[in-house]
Amino acid sequence: MTGPPQTTFPSVRRSLAMGLMLLAFALIPAKAASADNEGAMISWGHTIAMQGNGLPGNTACAECHRINGGGMPSVGIPRIAGQTETYIYREIRGVQKGTRFSPYMDRIVLNLSKRDIHAVALYYSTVRTPKLHDPAEFDPSLATLGRRIAHRGLWERNIPACIICHGQDGRGIPPNFPYIAGQSKTYLLGQLFSFAVIKRKDDPEGLMRGIASRLTNREIKAVAQYFASLEPPVYGPIPVKNRPDRLRLIPHKETPSP
């Protein structure tokens, strides 16, 4: 009797190579589908940003955050251009759940589905825009104090340096810690005071509430002024395929899925 035929090394190599080729061809459509899905989500996010999602009470994000996400410094509406998708999604959900205090947004985002939020967060994460003029008054006497708190903290009162979480010069630590460099003084003041009086409750482990509550009013003004004086980070240009003029807008009749 003879045993089963012995597999030769060349045949093993041929079989392995064929398997890898088939796997590679199988992955190509998957990657293409993923890219198409991301493109559709960015398009839907662009629609919401420019027009709203079509449901009662929802309006275009651009009415307050402006077309390119630069915000409105004069009234403390923040920049969201280039913030991470993770952070934007988390904050909108926080407004919906009441953990982030926002008298401007609470009704507007009520009818946004999770899909809507993912889409608009993804869209604004790709937008790039220059820093807008901040009309707030800047007090030169607070400059040194603001920089000291930002870079060194006030450890004698258990106040750590801001850059530990928000990155060097407030450039953020993606994806969870937002940039605060270049945000308006009015916006930063509003958020620090909101944390200090426990209106905003979406900070992990109450970290920001603890820090803000230990800062004096003068120190809050100083640190807000310091970060407002900086330029926002530039994480690179928007990809060509994601430029607003290249977006394939979703038809108005399409409704968001929950």
Over residues 109-167, the pLDDT tens digits come to 999 999 999 999 999 999 988 999 999 999 999 999 999 999 999 999 999 999 999 99
Region 42-65: mean pLDDT is 93
CATH for 38-244 (1.10.760.10, 1.10.3720.10, 3.60.15.10, 3.40.250.10): 1.10.760.10
Region 48-66: mean pLDDT is 93
Q: Are 77 and 187 in contact (CB under 8 A)?
A: yes
Percent of the chain with pLDDT over 90: 65
Where are the chain's structural domains? Answer: 38-244
According to the model, what pLDDT value does residue 222 have? Answer: 98
Q: Is residue 101's pLDDT more than 70?
A: yes
Q: pLDDT-based confidence at 56, cuts 50/70/90?
A: confident
Region 92-100: mean pLDDT is 94
Q: Is residue 239's pLDDT more than 80?
A: no
According to the model, what pLDDT value does residue 39 have? Answer: 87
Which residue in 76, 120, 73, 75 sits closest to 96, CA to CA?
120
Q: pLDDT-based confidence at 204, cuts 50/70/90?
A: confident
Q: Is residue 218's pLDDT more than 90?
A: yes
> Mean pLDDT over all residues of the chain?
85
Region 166-179: mean pLDDT is 94
pTM, full prediction: 0.79
Q: pLDDT-based confidence at 235, cuts 50/70/90?
A: confident
Q: Give residue-wise pLDDT tens across range 67-79.
A: 889 999 999 999 9
Percent of the chain with pLDDT over 70: 78
